[in-house]
Structure 1
Amino acid sequence: MNHQVGEGRRMRGRRWWAGIDWSADSQHVVIVDDDGAIVTHLVVEESKKGVDEILAALRALNPTSHTFSRRQVPIAIEDGNRLLVAELRRRNQPVVLVPPTVTARYRGRHAAAVSKSDRGDAALLANILRQTPGRRTPLPDTTDEAAAIAVLARAQCTAAADARELATRLRSHLALYYPAAAHAWAQMDHGLRRPEALAVLALAPTPRQAAALTKRKIYDTLATAGRIRLLDSEAERLRDLFQKPQLRQRPATETVMGERTRLHVTELQLARHHAEQLAELTDRAFAQHPHYPTYRSFPGAGPLLAARIFAELGDDPARFTTARALRSYAGTAPITWSSGTSHTVVHRKVCNRALKTAVHRWAFSTLTRSPGCRALYDARRERGDRHAAALRHVGNRLLSGLHHCLRTNEPYQEDGMFPAPEQGTD
C-alpha cells in the first residue's frame, strides 16, 4: 500500500513533453518524460481520428491523478499552419512552434554521429521543450478574426512581392531588345508596374511598333490606363523616346521577343490585380476589428502597413506583457555583447523578419508625418547613427507607444508620445 502511495506521489510530480514531426502522409508523435526517455510513440493521420489518438495518449500519461490534465503537456511542432495544429488549438491543447533552424542546431548535441528520422525528430522537438521550458511559449491565443486578417495581409504582401519580381524580370527582358521601354518609366514610382506602362507595352511590345505610334495614339492609351495629369507632355515624351535611333535585334528575333513581352505584361497585370484585390479585402476585414482605430491613429500607419503589423502581432492581450518584449520580437531592441573589457551593442537579427521590415517602413514613413519622429531621427543621426540605426530608434518609440495605446485603448497622441521639454524657472 505504501509503495502504491509513493508511486502515486511520484507520478503526480512527473512532467511530460511531446513533439510532432509532420509529413504529407503521417505524423510521428513522441512523448518524453523528465529524463528525456521516450514513453510513447504514435504514428497518426492528419485527421480528427489522429487528433483524438494524440489527446488520448496525453490523458493516459497519469490516469490516477485528479489534478493532471493533458493541457499540462505542451506539444512542439515546426509548422504552425498545419490543420493538425488548428484542431489541437481548437481543443485548447498548448502547441509550441519550434523553427526548423532551432531543431537543426539541437540535432548534433546528443550524439557524435548526427542522424535523422521521423521518430528521432519528434523526440528531439519534445526534448527541446524539456530542456528549455521557460523559453518556449505556446502559440498566442489570437481570435479567428485576427487570424483571418493575418492570412489576407500576408497573402497581399506575397502578391505585391510577386509583382515586383515580375517587373524586374520584364525590365531585364526589355533591356535585351527594347532599351527605350526598359528606361521609359524608370524614374517614376512603381516603374514598369504602372498601369500606363503596361498599357503602352501591350500596345507596342517591339521597338518597331513603338516607333510607329503617333502622339495621339499614345495620348489615348495613357488616358485609358488612368493617367490624368500632363497627358500631352507625357505622350510627346514617349513618342520622341521611341523614335530615337537605338540598337535593335534582327527582325524575326525582335518579333518573338515582343511576344514574350506580351506574356510578361499579362502576368504582371494579373499580379497587380491580385495585389489590389487582396489589399481591398485586407483593409475591409481589418476595419471591422476593435484594434483598427488604434493602429490607424498612428502617423504613417496606412491601411496596408497597419494590417501587416497587426498580422504579426495578433490580438492576444497576454502575448506581450511589456513593451520591451514587443520590441525584442520586432527586432528593434538592441542586443549587448559584453565579455571582459569588450562591450558591444548590436542590432537584433533573431526576430520576426516580416514585422521588422514593416516597422522599418513604418518608421521611415513617419519622418514626414510626425514632428516628434523626425526630431528623434535627426537627433540620432547627429549622434552618429546611420540611417537604419536611427530608424530602429524611431521604430522602438513607435512600438512602445503602440503597446501603451493597445493596453489603455487610447488613440495616438503626438504630445503624449513626444512631450515638450519643461521650461526652467528663474
Structure 2
Amino acid sequence: MSTHQGRLFAGIDWATKTHAVCVVDDQGAIKVRFEIPNTNKTFTGLVKRLSKLDVEGVAIERCDGPLVEAFLDAGLRVVVITPRQVKGLRSRYTGSGAKSDAGDAYLLADVLRTDGHRLTPLTQDSEATQVLRSLSRTRKQLVESRVGLVNQLHAQLERCFPAAIGLFSRLDSDVTIAFLRRYPTQHAASRLTPARFAAFLRRIAYCGRKPVDELYARIADAPSAGLSATEAEGRAVCVLALLRTIETTRHEERELEAEIIERLDAHADAHIFTSLPKAGHGVRAALLLSEIGDVRARFPDEESLAALAGVAPVTKASGKLHTVGFRWAADKKLRNALIDFADDSRNASPWAAKIYADAIARGKRHPHAVRILARAWVRVIWRCWQDHTAYNPELHGGAMQLQAA
C-alpha cells in the first residue's frame, strides 16, 4: 500500500475494563501509546485526541458498542479486524505469537497501515435502524433473563412443590403464576379440596385444556415434599419473589414488543423483511432488519453477508489438502437472527423444507442443515434487500421449480 508522509493510524485493543491505544506513523513507528478506562466519559476525550492527531483511521476488533458508535459519530474511519484474524497475525509480529494488550493495539494499527486498502470501513445505519436494533436486542436480553428466572423457579419447585411442575402449559404462563401466587408450596396446597380447586380455576378463567379432576389428582396424589413448616414458609418467599420478577419481565417484554412493531411498520425496509415466510410483522422481522442494517454498500455481494453471518463455511485449500469447516469469526447476533428465521421458515415454505430435508438426507445434523438453509435464504434476502423489493414466491426461481415438479 502506498503511503504519504505524515499519515497516522490508530489501533485499539478493546477490553472490559481498559482499552489499549496505539498510534503509528506511515513507517510503522509508534507515535503515541496509552490506555483508557472503559467508560463513556473517556470516549469523548479519546475521540477528540485521535481527531486532533488527524489519524487516517481506527482499527478495532468489534463492530458495535458505544466506543465504535462514538468513532462513527465523530466521522472517523473505522475498520474491524476480528479476534481470530488478530490471533493469526500475531506470529507476524512475535515469534512466540504471545498475546498482550499493548502488542495487539500495535498490531491493529500496523495492519491498518499496511492492509487498509483491503479492509471495508464501517458505515452507520440510519437512526431508525439503530433504534430498532437497540429495542430488539434489549427485548432478546429480557427473554433470556426470563428463561433464567423460570429455571430458578423450576429448581425451587423441585424442592417445595414438585407437583406444580408441568401442571399447566408453562411455568411462566398466566394460569401457573396465578396458581403459584395462591399456593406457592405443597404445604400451602394441602388445604385444597376438589370444590375449591375447581372454583379457583373458574375464577382465573382456566381454558380447560386438561380436566379439573385430573389436575387435582396430580396435586393430591403427589408424594410429600418432606419440608417442615418453617422451611416451607421460607421457600414460599423465594417462589413469590421469582413470580413477581417474572411478571415484571414479561410485562416489559410486551411493552418492548409493541414499540418494536410500531417502529417496524414505519421503517422504509419493513416490506422486505415482513414478506419473508414466518417472519411476520413482529419481532423476528425487526431482528432480521436491524441486524442486517440498511447500508447496502456494507454487503456488496451475497457472499459478504453470508460470511459475516457465519452461515457460509470456511474452505481451506493447499496442494492436496482441502478442508471445509465451521466459520467461527462471525457476527453472532446476525447469525442467530438468520438461523432462527431459517429454522422456522421450513414450516411455511416448501422450498425451504426441501433444502432442509435434503441436507438431513445427506447425513447432516440439525444445526448444520439449518445453516445450509440459512445460506440459501441469504441469496434471496440479499437480492430483495438490494432491490428494495418484497419477497414474492412467484418470482423465486427455486420455489417455482419445486412447485412445477
TM-score (structure 2 length as normaliser):
0.85
Q: What is the percentage of aligned positions where both structures have the same residue?
A: 24
Tell me which amino acid in the other structure corresponds to 2:59. A
Counterpart position of 2:372: 393
| Alignment equivalent of 2:344, drawn from 350, 365, 368 | 365
Distance in 1, Cα, partners of 2:404 & 2:133: 45
Q: Aligned partners of 1:178, 1:404: CA distance in 2, in Å?
A: 54
Q: Which residue of 2 aligns with 1:63?
A: none
Could you list the runs of 5+ residues in structure 1 that have no partner in the other structure? 1-9, 59-69
Q: Residue type of the partner of 1:183?
A: G
CA distance in 2, matches of 1:214, 1:278: 40
Please tell me whether Structure 1 or Structure 2 has the larger radius of gyration of its CA atoms: 1
Paired position in structure 1 for 2:327? 348
Distance 1:326 1:300 in 2: 21
CA pair 99-197 structure 1, distance change in 2 beyond 3 A: farther
Would you say 1:258 and 2:250 are equivalent positions? no
Q: In the alignment, is the contact (CA less than 8 A) between 2:312 and 2:327 conserved in 1?
A: yes
Q: Deviations over 1:303-343 (max 9, x none)?
A: 11121222221111101111111111111112223344443
The equivalent of 2:140 in structure 1 is 157
- Does 2:321 correspond to 1:338? no
Does 2:220 match 1:243?
yes
Aligned to 2:112: 129
* One-letter code aligned to 1:55: S
Distance in 1, matches of 2:404 and 2:65, equals 58
Aligned partners of 1:21, 1:347: CA distance in 2, in Å?
A: 26
Within 1, Cα distance between the matches of 2:199 and 2:126? 49
Q: How many angstroms does 1:79 deviate by?
A: 5.7
- The answer as to whether partners of 1:74 and 1:94 remain within 8 angstroms in 2 is yes
Alpha-carbon offset, residue 23 of structure 1:
7.8
Identify which of 278, 285, 292 aligns with 2:270. 292
CA offset at residue 282 of structure 1?
1.6
Q: How big is the alpha-carbon RMSD for the aligned residues of Structure 1 and Structure 2?
A: 3.1
What is the aligned partner in structure 2 of residue 415 from structure 1? 394
For 1:212, the equivalent position in structure 2 comes to 191
For 2:227, give the aligned amino acid. Answer: R
Which stretches in structure 2 are left out of the alignment for 5+ residues? none
Distance 1:358 1:220 in 2: 44
Distance change (3 Å), C-alpha of 1:34 and 1:51: closer
CA distance 1:392–1:103, change in 2 (3 Å): closer
Could you say which residue in structure 2 is the equivalent of 1:166? 149
Letter in 1 for 2:219: F
Amino acid at match of 1:321: P
Matching of residues 14-413 of structure 1 within 5 Å: 15-20=7-12, 29-41=21-33, 46=42, 48=44, 50-58=46-54, 73-78=56-61, 83-99=66-82, 103=86, 110-111=93-94, 114=98, 116=100, 122-185=105-168, 188=169, 191-215=170-194, 217-218=196-197, 222=201, 227=206, 229-230=207-208, 233-251=210-228, 252-302=230-280, 303-413=282-392
Alpha carbons of 1:321 and 1:209: their partners in 2 closer, same or farther (altered >3 Å)?
A: same
Q: In the TM superposition, what whole-angstrom CA distance separates every residue of 1:133-164 from its partner, at most 9, and x where no partner exists? A: 25543223211111111111110111001111
Deviation at 1:32, TM superposition (A): 0.7
* Deviation sequence 1:258-299 (CA, Å, 0-9, x none): 221111111211222222222222222222111111100010
Q: Is 21-30 or 369-378 further displaced after alignment? A: 21-30
Q: What is the TM-score when the length of structure 1 is the normalising length?
A: 0.81
User: 1:142 & 1:423 partners in 2: Cα distance?
Assistant: 40
Checking the alignment, whether the CA contact within 8 Å between 2:4 and 2:26 is kept in structure 1 is no
SS for the counterpart of 2:11 is strand
Q: Output the CA distance in 2 between the equivalents of 1:171 and 1:23.
A: 35
How many corresponding residue pairs?
395
> Aligned AA for 1:401?
V
CA contact under 8 A between 2:3 and 2:26: conserved in structure 1? no
Alpha-carbon distance, 1:248 to partner? 1.7
Once the 2 structures are TM-superposed, how far is the Cα of residue 126 of structure 1 from its aligned partner?
1.3
Distance 1:345 1:200, change over 3 A: same
